Structure 1
Amino acid sequence: MLLLLYSSLLSYMLFFTLCVAPVSNKILDDQNKSKFLRNIFPKNFVFGGIIASIALIFSFILKDHWSIIISFIIALGFIINLFIIMPKINYISDNNNLEEKKKKKSFRNWHLSSVFIYLVQIIMAVIGIILNI
């Protein structure tokens, strides 16, 4: 079951990274892209958080200590992205009182932190797969 859950996490995260995000950046204008991304990212993080939480529950049931750590880190990443980073990015994007240079720098830093967390989650899912083969 853990192999299926980690494989599901990895495959959907890669699909989102390699297909959904680049296509939206390529074909949508800024206004529609913003609406689309603000709508899909929360769903992305909730979906991943649910799968990671299910993996965490199964890890406890199976007493798989490494999987407990891995699934906890993955779930925590989704929580941080959903409740801390994403609202901060939206606030920065919406705040017209910020100087444009500072706005771009803050957005870039928060976005990079989100991307870094997502990359760590992908790596952890790969490790989860390897440990459960």
Structure 2
Amino acid sequence: NTLDRENASKLLRKVFPKNFIFGLVLSILAILLSIIEEQKISLIISTFLTCLFLANLYYIMPKINAISDKDKKRKKHSRSFKKFHLFSVILYLFKMIASIIGIVLIYN
């Protein structure tokens, strides 16, 4: 069983903001830990991740939601939605990889 488009949208609009806020909080904590541990590379990565989480939270996700709202009348997502969504997914994967690298740098 899968959710219909409207219920899936409602679920995702509740989950992803919390997910991005969680990532934002962790990246800010990583900045603090990087400062304490005097890890310059980790500090740079953590600061960059903080900026990316802010971009996801306050620009990309609202843009995707606005496009999705316009697309509701149609039975499929627009090209614009697909582009922003793909960018968001790739950016999220990049952030996860960068986070792992940052953790490894702190503890090595």
Q: Tell me the matched-pair count.
A: 107
Q: TM-score, normalised by structure 2?
A: 0.87
Counterpart residue type for residue 46 of structure 2: S
Q: TM-score, normalised by structure 1?
A: 0.72
Instruction: Calculate percent identity across the aligned residue pairs.
Output: 44
Matches within 5 A, 1:45-124: 45-95=20-70, 104-124=78-98
Once the two structures are TM-superposed, the CA of residue 129 in structure 1 deviates from its matched residue by: 2.7
Structure 2 unmatched ranges of 5 or more: none
Once the two structures are TM-superposed, the CA of residue 99 in structure 1 deviates from its matched residue by: 8.3
Once the two structures are superposed, what CA deviation does each residue of 1:95-122 show, in whole Å capped at 9, x if it has no partner?
25x9888x61100110111111111111
Give the number of the structure with larger relative contact order, counting CA–CA contacts within 8 Å between residues 6 or more apart. Answer: 1
Q: Give 4+ residue runs of structure 1 displaced > 2 Å after superposition.
A: 98-101
Structure 1 unmatched ranges of 5 or more: 1-25
Aligned-pair Cα RMSD in Å: 2.2
Larger helix fraction of residues: 1
Counterpart residue type for residue 115 of structure 1: V
